[in-house]
Amino acid sequence: MPSNGFIGGHRNLFALNSFPEGSGYDFSFFLFQWTYAITASGITSGSMAERTQFVAYLVYSSFLTGFVYPVISHWFWSNDGWASPTLTNNILFLGSSAIDFAGSGVVHMAGEIAGRWRSLTLGPRIGRFNHQENRATEIRGHIVLLVVLGTLLLWLGWYGFTAGYFLTILKSYGASPPNYGQWSAIGRTTVTMTLSRCTGALTTMFSRRFLVGHWNVTHVCTGILSGLVAISSGCAVVEPWAAIVCGFVADKRDFCPVKDFKPRITNPM
């Protein structure tokens, strides 16, 4: 029974038997997708930290990784998903499709939307908003050094998160040109990713200096992460100049009026 474009099918359920013959995948791909699933679950933890019981987070993350994330990943990454770039006669705009190479939407947007709904359910953190003055109260982190250290670890780990999706390096793309292969695509991925996050860091650093009036290393860390998330979808296909543009507009907080945002959502992400 063939799978459908929305929710898939029961063929090789969870890869417990084997991968389809000729698919080009093996069990390393299963493990890699597992890391993507727990990343989506980990993103939601930031919106629930210190405000829910541990059992509630277990239930929430189990539902997200077991039922929500597999469906979304099937949409974009399965050959017969309705948004898959390999699907002919796509139903999207002008018959086009969506390229999400390393999960800007499948992983990060899915985790962010789930975390946003969780934040709406829990309500704002106590003391986060000053209702009399109608403004948000800034809650500073306690150990900035750990924020920087965590950002640097993500900086390094993101190379595996994106370039690792190729699974193999020594794979030729044919005789024309003879020196072009998967190693070239991996090189493009690492270059565009580096340019995007560096641009995001510089843009955030100087824009926040202009808006706030002082330098803040946590803003730089935020810009780095914004650039990384934004470039993950197109890192394997965009040109380097496009990666710079992507990093420049990644941290939209510095260019959009957020002071009038009324839902008052507490979301550390």
Please indicate, yes or no, whether residues 118 and 168 belong to a single structural domain of this protein. no
In a domain, 129, yes or no: no
Please indicate, yes or no, whether residues 187 and 102 belong to a single structural domain of this protein. no
Give the domain range for residue 117.
1-122
Please indicate, yes or no, whether residues 53 and 163 belong to a single structural domain of this protein. no
Please indicate, yes or no, whether residues 60 and 25 belong to a single structural domain of this protein. yes
Please indicate, yes or no, whether residues 116 and 203 belong to a single structural domain of this protein. no
Number of domains in the chain: 2
In a domain, 128, yes or no: no
In a domain, 50, yes or no: yes
Please indicate, yes or no, whether residues 46 and 81 belong to a single structural domain of this protein. yes
In a domain, 132, yes or no: no
Q: For 12-51, write each residue's pLDDT tens digit.
A: 555 555 555 555 567 777 888 888 999 988 888 878 877 8
In a domain, 173, yes or no: yes
Helix (H) or strand (E) holding 135: strand 135-136
Q: In whole angstroms, what separates CA 78 from the centre of its chain? A: 18
Please indicate, yes or no, whether residues 46 and 102 belong to a single structural domain of this protein. yes
Nearest Cα to Cα of residue 204 among 190, 217, 192: 217
Binning pLDDT at 50, 70 and 90, where does residue 120 land? Answer: confident
Residue pair 127/51 in contact by the 8 Å Cβ criterion: no
Please indicate, yes or no, whether residues 211 and 245 belong to a single structural domain of this protein. yes
**What are the structure tokens assigned to 163, written together?**
């370039």
In a domain, 80, yes or no: yes
pLDDT value of position 232: 92
Is pLDDT at 10 greater than 70 in this prediction?
no
